Chains A and B, each alone.
Chain A
Amino acid sequence: MTKSYSGRVLKAALWSVPLLFLALFFIYPLGSILALSLAPDGTLNLSGFNTVITTPYYLKIFAFTVFQAGLSTVLTLTFALPCAYVFARYAFHGKSLLLALSILPFVLPTVVVAAAFSALVGGNGILNEALMSLFNLSEPPLQLERTLTLVLIAHIFYNYPIALRIIAAYWSNQNPHLDEAAKTLGVHGYRLWWRIYLPRLRPAILAAAALVFVFTFTSFGIVLILGGPQYATLEVEIYRQAVGVFNLQVAAALSLLQIGFMLIVMLVYTRLQRRMYTVRDGLQAARTVARPPRTMREKLFIAANLSFMIFLLFAPLAALLIRSLTVGSDSLSLRNYGLLATNPRGSVLFAPPLEAIGNSLVIALAAMVCAAFIGVIAVFMIARRRSRFAVWLDPLLMLPLATSAVTLGFGYIIALDEPPLNLRSSLLLLPLAHALVAIPFVVRSVLPAKEAISLSVYEAAQSLGASPATTLRRIDFPLISRALIVGATFAFTVSIGEFGATAFLARPESPTIPIVIYRLLGQPGIANYGQALAMSSILLLVCAVSFLLIERFRTLTTGDF
């Protein structure tokens, strides 16, 4: 294969995109704020590290952070795996709709999720009242408020979609003949899972586990609101130090601890991923892998898994929808939705719901395109390359997700303050910051799919005279499309529901949906609360429609592979 000079230039240019992006919007701002915090007057001051190392409390926080993240990851995967199997192996009515909607929990702001959980499992929530009247109890049987259990349930609620989508997407293209062969040879029950399914799925399981772990490791709102002040993750403590106490030394030391630990975890993960033997026995179109359930047992298995999933994911969402229709009125009414469009005080900062939706969609689409583009380039750089460089690129791309939002937000303020990069108050900073956090989702989704493509396919393509561009278009793209859509959907979702980083960046007047929700929740009065619930429901609706459109786009462009 001969490569033209311009081809090589193009390739080099493309490959530099992820690196430049990471350097400009992550390493440079992060380095600036760490330098300012640790060496405010030019000389290195390590007192922050001393404090962190010598105070048992910080070590306790670190231990708790690791513990709850590990537990959340294991629980999420355990619950999601059987359901992923159902989605990958069986065909049934409403499957693609259900799968597309399963990401919805992921989009909701934590304050809203906390309110939904209170309405559902709180002391006088729907579940407790139902149980009390059902069994004639005088005390609410579920006492979950402010417990680790509730934090874990919320983490599963948020992260179940990640595990489900990534694993199901990978599984959907795995050839089922091996499973059938194993069954014919008498492998059944847990041994089938342990010896056949899990080893084959390991790349996807590890990828999902890595994402869930990072996500719960940096959990902020859930731990703060549902866990209460006695629980703190590193992320929470960094916020307290950086904002409440303004002790940048300790905040920087904790940030470095957080980033350093995550880097180690990601390096171990990358090594593990690489050393693993991946079965590449030819991928198959998803619709040929899935079949309708045949026996009663299969039907029951599907029904049980789907019921669990629907209850876990949609009960809190339903509670939210119902509250948005009932708060402030005696019967079901759309009053709160109507109020959203009014501006009784003639406020400058009022944004009609359509404008907020428009802003959110534009930012989320920009973030998604940016993350998908950079993420896919990164996947091609990382896949199958055992160079030292690729080993580092993968963990590096994950780090923004593991970095405290307030640290990075402060970094942007002090680093991106000179032309031509004076982006501190630019509207473009939002999609860029969102893309930074979304790239790991694209990489984690697409990398297993890309690595699962058998080398013989490329050899065949080459021997038939296909150019690299043709190979890309006719082989790589169709084979990674399912995973890419999952990654892109997550990127979209991360952006449209994101508030954490948004809150730490200066922004001119163009509110997104989450900002409108928080603004409403910041003022007393039933109309504000009702409107916040209505806006949250609108957010769900907008996302549901977007997910269905994205899914439709995929089947239109690549067919139902």
Chain B
Amino acid sequence: MRKIFLLVAFSLILVISVNAQNDALTLVTHDSFAISEAVLEQFSQDTGIQIEILRVGDAGILVNQSVLSAGNPLGDVLFGVDNTFLTRALNADLFVPYQSPNLEFVNEEFLLDPEHRVTPIDYGDVCLNYDVGYFAESGLAVPTSLEQLTEPDYNGLLAVQNPATSSPGLAFLLATIAVFGDEDDPDGYGYLDYWQELMANDVYISDGWTDAYYGQFSGSAGSEGDRPLVVSYASSPPAEVYFAEDANANAPTAAITAENTCFRQVEFAGILSGTDNLEAAQQWIDFMLSPVFQADMPLNMFVFPVNSTVEVPEVFAENMTIPDLPVTMDIDEIDANRERWIQTWTETILR
């Protein structure tokens, strides 16, 4: 009994004493963040700055927790807020503006915040993925527009994610809104009409990406599902090849990148106000835009570099298509409507 008591007392003391401050730069990010050890080491060697990585749930939780801890942030730099949630972070005054010199290599389409409170780091397209084998065998045409998904031929073939709980789900909802329009016009055809037709065509709405991709989709080599169409990323097919048992195999899946079917997500990093490591934070932002980091991202996070001087790895180049004309939406329009869209969608489609 006494032993147990001492043990507990000891751990309680530990709790209180462990809060020793260190001067490493803390990067607050989401669960999908990944980076090669060699790349991180290079940064530390070049600058003498140690990086500590702190991870906080998914992208939605990351943004909300940062908003809640505004002014007394968890770290110095935040990475992982995308254009669908960006305004929520900007409105809360989370960031110290910083214009990195490396922005000169970044295409203008990614510079969504003219005040440079956030810096674009990578982008990825949320696209329909299909089971190559299924469409080859059945002779069914691979859909090339969102409209086609409501046709009887595609009844029961599609799995999507709930926009209220999933980041690709929200991106897909935004794509349908951009294509079919808001509900404002009572006589016209809007996104809700489209979704009702999707529902009538037996679409499967899953809570998150994992269940849709591994539980419902039939294309991924190991998955348990039987639906040949799923909402995922344009980078998923190269990932399938990269993680296949046989490195020379053809991709079992492919992305549909036809005009007006994909939604482009851009991910940003920002220096959190309240940091006492401003200079180191700026160096880290510069580094994230540098060719070393940008070239490391694709195979670690399966996203594309925003730095236009950087080439993607071979497995990407061979197995992917980048949509020429993805759907985009103004961040202020997303800001003004995001919560209403999610609520209305939930009320009309799910209930």
Contacts and interface: CB of A to CB of B under 8 A. Distances in A.
Contact of A348 (B35, B213, B343, B347): B35
B102 interface: no
* B170, B232, B300 — most chain A CB neighbours (10 Å): B300
* A245, A426, A506 — most chain B CB neighbours (10 Å): A506
A320 to B, nearest CB: 11
Interface in A399-416: 406, 409-410, 413-414
Given A122-B224, A506-B74, A345 B8 contact: no
Contact of B60 (A243, A335, A373): A243
Nearest to A247: B339
A381 interface: no
B74 A243 contact: no
B350 A230 contact: yes
A348 B8 CA distance: 33
Given A243-B60, A369-B8, A472-B1, A119 B213 contact: no
Interface in B235-255: 236, 239-240, 242-245, 253
Contacts of A370: 8, 11
Interface in A25-55: 36
Given A370-B8, A373-B8, A525-B242, A417 B61 contact: no
Interface in B56-82: 56-58, 60-61, 64-65, 67-69, 72, 74-75
Contact of A503 (B5, B58, B226, B245): B58
Contacts of B240: 524-526
A453 B16 CA distance: 38
Given A244-B165, A410-B65, A509 B302 contact: no
Contacts of A346: 36-38
Contacts of B19: 419-420, 422-423, 426
Nearest to B14: A428
A160 B336 CA distance: 47
A496 B323 CA distance: 43
B211 A349 contact: no
Interface in B188-217: 205-211, 213-215
Contacts of B178: none
A328 B245 contact: yes
Contacts of A246: 64, 67, 88, 339
* Interface size band for A: 35 or more
Interface string B34-66: 111110100000000000111111101100110
A256 B16 CA distance: 30
B152 interface: no
A243 B222 contact: no
B271 interface: no
Contacts of B35: 347-349
Nearest to A242: B64
B11 A366 contact: yes
Contact of B245 (A329, A417, A425, A523): A329
B28 interface: yes
B339 A111 contact: no
Given A503-B57, A506-B56, A410 B68 contact: yes
B326 interface: no
A424 B214 contact: no
B7 A369 contact: yes
B32 interface: yes
Given A114-B211, A327-B222, A506-B74, A369 B4 contact: yes
A406 B75 CA distance: 20
Interface stretch (A184-192, A527-535, A537-545): A527-535
B209 A522 contact: yes
A337 interface: no
A508 interface: yes
B16 A345 contact: no
* A230, A413, A432 — most chain B CB neighbours (10 Å): A413
Interface stretch (A221-229, A280-288, A309-317, A455-463): A221-229
Contacts of B75: 425
Given A114-B215, A124-B226, A508-B53, A526 B220 contact: yes
A426 B18 contact: yes
A207 to B, nearest CB: 23
B8 to A, nearest CB: 5
B245 A348 contact: no
B210 A111 contact: yes
Contacts of B32: 522-523
A348 B52 CA distance: 11
Contacts of A372: 4
Contacts of B236: 524
Contacts of B54: 425, 506-508
Nearest to A349: B34
B103 interface: no
Contact of A245 (B72, B74, B300, B343): B343
Contacts of B4: 369, 372-373
Contacts of A240: 164-165, 346
B18 A428 contact: yes
* B34, B222, B242 — most chain A CB neighbours (10 Å): B222
A426 B28 CA distance: 14
Contacts of A366: 11
B293 to A, nearest CB: 12
* B11, B26, B68 — most chain A CB neighbours (10 Å): B68
A225 B206 contact: yes
Contacts of A82: none
A528 to B, nearest CB: 6
B235 to A, nearest CB: 8
Contacts of A503: 31, 57-58, 61
Given A225-B211, A420-B16, A507-B55, A425 B74 contact: yes
Nearest to A531: B243
A118 interface: yes
B211 A111 contact: yes
B209 A244 contact: no
Contacts of A153: none
Nearest to B15: A428
A527 B242 CA distance: 9
A450 to B, nearest CB: 15
Nearest to A224: B207
Contacts of B223: 529
Nearest to A231: B350
Contacts of A413: 65, 68-69, 74
A472 B5 CA distance: 15
Interface of A: 17, 36, 57, 111, 114-115, 118-119, 122-125, 224-225, 228-230, 239-240, 242-247, 327-329, 335, 345-350, 366, 369-370, 372-374, 406, 409-410, 413-414, 417-428, 431-432, 472-473, 477, 503-509, 515, 518-519, 521-530
* CB-CB nearest 9 A-B residue pairs: A525-B243, A526-B221, A527-B243, A244-B164, A224-B207, A526-B222, A529-B222, A524-B236, A327-B222
25 contacts: A123-B226, A224-B207, A229-B205, A243-B165, A346-B37, A347-B35, A348-B34, A348-B35, A349-B33, A349-B35, A370-B8, A373-B4, A373-B8, A409-B65, A410-B65, A413-B65, A428-B11, A477-B1, A503-B58, A509-B53, A523-B243, A524-B220, A524-B253, A525-B243, A526-B243
Given A36-B68, A410-B64, A523-B302, 8 more contacts: A243-B60, A335-B245, A413-B74, A417-B72, A426-B15, A515-B31, A523-B243, A529-B220
